[in-house]
Amino acid sequence: MDPSGLQVPPVSHPFSVQPPFYTASPPQEGFCPPPSYESTALPPGSLPHQVPMMMTMPVPQALPGCPAGLEYLTQVDQLLVHQQMELTEVILGWETNNRYVVKNSMGQQVYFVAEENDCCNRQVCGPLRSFIIHIQDNFGQEVIRLTRPLRCGSCCCPCCLQELEVQSPPGSPIGYVTQDWHPFLPKFTVQSATKVPALKIVGPFLDCTCCSDVNFEIKSLAEDVVVGRISKQWSGFENEMFTDADNFGLQFPVDLDVRIKAVILGACFLIDFMFFEHTEKQQN
Mean pLDDT of the chain: 77
CATH superfamily, domain 47-283, is LURP1-related (2.40.160.200)
pLDDT, tens only, 103-131: 999 999 999 999 998 788 777 887 778 89
**pLDDT tens profile 56-91:** 888 888 788 888 899 999 989 999 999 987 766 556
3-state SS string over 115-131?
EECCHHHHHHHHHHCCE
Residue 55: pLDDT band by 50, 70, 90 thresholds? confident
User: pTM of the entire structure?
Assistant: 0.75
Q: Write down the domain spans for the chain.
A: 47-283
